[in-house]
Amino acid sequence: MYQLAIFDLDGTLLDTLADLRQGINYALGTQGFAPRSMAEVRAFVGNGIWKLVERAVPAGTSEAQMDAVYEAFNPYYARHCADLTVPYDGILPLLQKLQAQGVVCALVSNKPDYAVQTLAAQYFPGLLAASAGAKDGVRKKPAPDSVFAVIHQLGAEGLRAVYIGDSEVDLQTAQNAALPCISVSWGFRDRSVLEQAGAAYICDTVDALYQAICNG
Protein backbone atom coordinates (compact mmCIF):
# COMPACT_ATOMS: atom_id res chain seq x y z
CA MET A 1 0.00 0.00 0.00
CA TYR A 2 1.20 3.49 -0.79
CA GLN A 3 1.75 5.48 2.39
CA LEU A 4 1.55 8.96 0.84
CA ALA A 5 -0.93 9.90 -1.91
CA ILE A 6 -0.30 13.29 -3.53
CA PHE A 7 -3.25 14.47 -5.59
CA ASP A 8 -3.72 17.03 -8.31
CA LEU A 9 -6.81 19.19 -7.69
CA ASP A 10 -8.58 20.36 -10.86
CA GLY A 11 -9.99 17.42 -12.79
CA THR A 12 -8.85 14.94 -10.14
CA LEU A 13 -10.51 15.80 -6.82
CA LEU A 14 -12.72 18.71 -7.89
CA ASP A 15 -14.66 19.57 -11.02
CA THR A 16 -13.64 23.22 -11.21
CA LEU A 17 -14.26 23.74 -14.91
CA ALA A 18 -17.43 25.81 -14.69
CA ASP A 19 -15.88 28.34 -12.30
CA LEU A 20 -12.69 28.53 -14.36
CA ARG A 21 -14.77 29.21 -17.45
CA GLN A 22 -16.77 31.90 -15.67
CA GLY A 23 -13.57 33.51 -14.46
CA ILE A 24 -11.70 33.52 -17.76
CA ASN A 25 -14.75 34.72 -19.68
CA TYR A 26 -15.23 37.57 -17.23
CA ALA A 27 -11.57 38.52 -17.64
CA LEU A 28 -11.72 38.23 -21.44
CA GLY A 29 -14.80 40.45 -21.44
CA THR A 30 -12.94 43.26 -19.70
CA GLN A 31 -10.86 43.58 -22.88
CA GLY A 32 -13.75 43.07 -25.29
CA PHE A 33 -12.67 39.54 -26.21
CA ALA A 34 -15.19 36.82 -27.08
CA PRO A 35 -16.01 34.19 -24.44
CA ARG A 36 -14.67 30.67 -24.62
CA SER A 37 -16.71 27.45 -24.58
CA MET A 38 -16.52 24.80 -21.87
CA ALA A 39 -14.69 22.46 -24.26
CA GLU A 40 -12.13 25.14 -25.07
CA VAL A 41 -11.45 25.96 -21.43
CA ARG A 42 -11.17 22.25 -20.64
CA ALA A 43 -8.36 22.00 -23.19
CA PHE A 44 -6.67 25.19 -21.94
CA VAL A 45 -6.29 24.30 -18.25
CA GLY A 46 -3.54 22.35 -16.51
CA ASN A 47 -0.53 24.63 -16.62
CA GLY A 48 -1.64 27.47 -14.34
CA ILE A 49 -3.59 30.69 -14.83
CA TRP A 50 -1.07 32.53 -17.00
CA LYS A 51 -1.11 29.68 -19.53
CA LEU A 52 -4.91 29.65 -19.39
CA VAL A 53 -4.89 33.35 -20.29
CA GLU A 54 -2.33 32.85 -23.07
CA ARG A 55 -4.42 30.13 -24.63
CA ALA A 56 -7.76 31.91 -24.21
CA VAL A 57 -6.92 35.32 -25.70
CA PRO A 58 -7.15 35.80 -29.49
CA ALA A 59 -4.04 35.29 -31.58
CA GLY A 60 -1.95 38.43 -31.78
CA THR A 61 -3.05 39.81 -28.41
CA SER A 62 -0.49 42.21 -26.96
CA GLU A 63 1.43 41.45 -23.79
CA ALA A 64 -0.27 44.43 -22.14
CA GLN A 65 -3.73 43.07 -22.88
CA MET A 66 -2.75 39.60 -21.66
CA ASP A 67 -1.54 41.20 -18.45
CA ALA A 68 -4.87 43.00 -18.13
CA VAL A 69 -6.83 39.76 -18.61
CA TYR A 70 -4.64 38.03 -16.01
CA GLU A 71 -5.07 40.88 -13.52
CA ALA A 72 -8.84 40.83 -14.03
CA PHE A 73 -9.07 37.07 -13.57
CA ASN A 74 -7.42 36.73 -10.17
CA PRO A 75 -9.64 38.94 -7.97
CA TYR A 76 -12.77 37.67 -9.73
CA TYR A 77 -11.76 34.02 -9.30
CA ALA A 78 -10.75 34.59 -5.68
CA ARG A 79 -14.37 35.62 -5.00
CA HIS A 80 -16.02 32.98 -7.18
CA CYS A 81 -13.76 29.91 -7.15
CA ALA A 82 -16.35 27.82 -5.30
CA ASP A 83 -19.59 29.01 -6.90
CA LEU A 84 -20.11 25.98 -9.15
CA THR A 85 -17.20 23.74 -8.16
CA VAL A 86 -18.01 20.30 -6.74
CA PRO A 87 -16.03 17.21 -5.72
CA TYR A 88 -16.27 14.33 -8.15
CA ASP A 89 -18.61 11.58 -6.99
CA GLY A 90 -16.93 9.31 -4.48
CA ILE A 91 -13.93 11.56 -3.76
CA LEU A 92 -14.86 12.43 -0.18
CA PRO A 93 -15.44 8.77 0.80
CA LEU A 94 -12.17 7.90 -0.96
CA LEU A 95 -10.17 10.37 1.13
CA GLN A 96 -11.95 9.26 4.29
CA LYS A 97 -11.19 5.59 3.59
CA LEU A 98 -7.55 6.33 2.81
CA GLN A 99 -7.22 8.33 6.01
CA ALA A 100 -8.74 5.44 7.97
CA GLN A 101 -6.18 3.12 6.36
CA GLY A 102 -3.36 5.39 7.52
CA VAL A 103 -2.54 6.80 4.08
CA VAL A 104 -1.34 10.41 4.25
CA CYS A 105 -3.13 12.49 1.59
CA ALA A 106 -1.81 15.76 0.19
CA LEU A 107 -2.49 18.13 -2.69
CA VAL A 108 -0.25 19.84 -5.26
CA SER A 109 -1.80 22.09 -7.91
CA ASN A 110 -0.91 24.72 -10.50
CA LYS A 111 -3.96 26.66 -9.37
CA PRO A 112 -3.11 29.88 -7.47
CA ASP A 113 -2.38 29.06 -3.85
CA TYR A 114 -5.15 31.39 -2.60
CA ALA A 115 -7.71 29.23 -4.41
CA VAL A 116 -6.10 25.94 -3.40
CA GLN A 117 -6.25 26.85 0.28
CA THR A 118 -9.85 28.08 0.01
CA LEU A 119 -11.07 24.98 -1.82
CA ALA A 120 -9.13 22.51 0.31
CA ALA A 121 -10.53 24.01 3.51
CA GLN A 122 -14.08 24.16 2.14
CA TYR A 123 -14.34 20.73 0.53
CA PHE A 124 -11.79 18.54 2.35
CA PRO A 125 -11.51 19.76 5.96
CA GLY A 126 -9.24 17.51 7.99
CA LEU A 127 -8.58 15.16 5.06
CA LEU A 128 -5.45 16.67 3.51
CA ALA A 129 -2.22 16.84 5.50
CA ALA A 130 -0.77 19.50 3.20
CA SER A 131 -1.93 21.57 0.23
CA ALA A 132 0.24 23.58 -2.15
CA GLY A 133 -0.75 25.83 -5.04
CA ALA A 134 1.17 28.11 -7.36
CA LYS A 135 3.31 30.70 -5.60
CA ASP A 136 5.72 33.38 -6.80
CA GLY A 137 9.26 32.08 -6.97
CA VAL A 138 8.27 28.40 -7.09
CA ARG A 139 8.30 26.60 -10.42
CA LYS A 140 4.93 25.20 -11.47
CA LYS A 141 4.25 21.62 -12.46
CA PRO A 142 5.62 19.73 -14.32
CA ALA A 143 8.61 20.91 -12.27
CA PRO A 144 8.69 18.78 -9.11
CA ASP A 145 9.39 21.66 -6.70
CA SER A 146 5.97 21.78 -5.02
CA VAL A 147 5.86 17.99 -4.72
CA PHE A 148 9.24 18.00 -2.99
CA ALA A 149 8.14 20.89 -0.76
CA VAL A 150 5.04 19.01 0.41
CA ILE A 151 7.03 15.84 1.08
CA HIS A 152 9.56 17.85 3.09
CA GLN A 153 6.79 19.73 4.94
CA LEU A 154 5.29 16.41 6.03
CA GLY A 155 8.63 14.85 6.89
CA ALA A 156 7.58 12.09 4.53
CA GLU A 157 10.82 11.48 2.64
CA GLY A 158 10.85 7.84 3.73
CA LEU A 159 7.24 7.06 2.81
CA ARG A 160 6.17 5.05 -0.23
CA ALA A 161 4.53 7.78 -2.31
CA VAL A 162 2.40 8.05 -5.46
CA TYR A 163 1.20 11.01 -7.51
CA ILE A 164 -2.36 11.05 -8.86
CA GLY A 165 -3.69 13.31 -11.60
CA ASP A 166 -5.78 13.68 -14.73
CA SER A 167 -3.40 15.16 -17.30
CA GLU A 168 -0.14 14.85 -19.19
CA VAL A 169 1.23 17.57 -16.90
CA ASP A 170 0.67 15.27 -13.93
CA LEU A 171 2.45 12.40 -15.67
CA GLN A 172 5.43 14.68 -16.32
CA THR A 173 5.35 15.96 -12.73
CA ALA A 174 5.46 12.45 -11.32
CA GLN A 175 8.30 11.52 -13.66
CA ASN A 176 10.28 14.61 -12.67
CA ALA A 177 9.72 13.82 -8.99
CA ALA A 178 10.73 10.17 -9.54
CA LEU A 179 7.32 9.00 -8.32
CA PRO A 180 4.91 6.47 -9.81
CA CYS A 181 1.79 8.04 -11.30
CA ILE A 182 -1.81 6.89 -11.28
CA SER A 183 -3.87 8.71 -13.92
CA VAL A 184 -7.63 9.22 -13.72
CA SER A 185 -9.88 9.48 -16.77
CA TRP A 186 -12.79 11.45 -15.31
CA GLY A 187 -11.03 14.83 -15.43
CA PHE A 188 -9.99 17.33 -18.08
CA ARG A 189 -8.13 14.94 -20.41
CA ASP A 190 -9.58 11.98 -22.26
CA ARG A 191 -8.20 8.50 -21.75
CA SER A 192 -6.70 8.61 -25.26
CA VAL A 193 -4.67 11.71 -24.36
CA LEU A 194 -3.35 10.01 -21.23
CA GLU A 195 -2.44 6.88 -23.19
CA GLN A 196 -0.61 8.92 -25.81
CA ALA A 197 1.28 10.68 -23.01
CA GLY A 198 2.52 7.33 -21.75
CA ALA A 199 0.24 6.68 -18.78
CA ALA A 200 1.02 3.25 -17.39
CA TYR A 201 -1.97 3.06 -15.06
CA ILE A 202 -5.34 4.73 -15.73
CA CYS A 203 -8.33 4.49 -13.39
CA ASP A 204 -11.82 5.06 -14.75
CA THR A 205 -13.57 4.99 -11.37
CA VAL A 206 -12.87 6.18 -7.84
CA ASP A 207 -13.19 2.60 -6.60
CA ALA A 208 -10.46 1.54 -9.02
CA LEU A 209 -8.28 4.39 -7.75
CA TYR A 210 -8.76 3.25 -4.15
CA GLN A 211 -7.72 -0.27 -5.09
CA ALA A 212 -4.68 1.02 -6.99
CA ILE A 213 -3.52 3.03 -3.98
CA CYS A 214 -4.12 0.11 -1.60
CA ASN A 215 -2.29 -2.31 -3.90
CA GLY A 216 0.66 0.01 -4.51
Q: What are 144-159's pLDDT values in tens digits?
A: 999 999 999 999 999 9
Judgement on whether residues 114 and 46 belong to the same structural domain of the protein: no
Judgement on whether residues 27 and 93 belong to the same structural domain of the protein: no
The whole domain housing 44 covers: 17-80
The pLDDT tens digits for 156-213 are 999 999 999 999 999 999 999 999 999 999 999 999 999 999 999 999 999 999 999 9
- What DSSP state is assigned to residue 209? H
Judgement on whether residues 11 and 22 belong to the same structural domain of the protein: no
Whether the model clears a pTM of 0.75, i.e. scores above it, the answer is yes
Q: Where are the alpha helices (DSSP H) in 37-112?
A: 38-44, 49-56, 63-80, 91-100
Task: Tell me the pLDDT band of 34, cut-offs 50, 70 and 90.
Answer: very high
**pLDDT score, position 143:** 98
**Total domains, the chain:** 2
Judgement on whether residues 130 and 191 belong to the same structural domain of the protein: yes
Strand, coil or helix: 66 = helix
Judgement on whether residues 109 and 190 belong to the same structural domain of the protein: yes
Judgement on whether residues 71 and 124 belong to the same structural domain of the protein: no
Strand, coil or helix: 18 = helix
Mean pLDDT of the chain: 97
Tell me how far CA of residue 97 lies from CA of 117, 121, 164, in angstroms: 22, 18, 16
Distance from chain centroid for Cα 216:
22
Domain-terminating residue out of 80, 111, 131: 80
Contact 133, 114 (CB under 8 A): yes
Share of residues in the chain with pLDDT > 70 (%): 100
Q: How many CA atoms lie within 13 A of 191 on its CB side?
A: 7
**pLDDT score, position 54:** 97
Domain-terminating residue out of 27, 62, 80: 80
Peptide bond into 93 cis (omega under 30): no
Cα separation, 122 vs 118, whole angstroms: 6
Helix (H) or strand (E) holding 105: strand 104-112
Across-strand partners of 130?
106
Judgement on whether residues 36 and 99 belong to the same structural domain of the protein: no
Judgement on whether residues 144 and 57 belong to the same structural domain of the protein: no
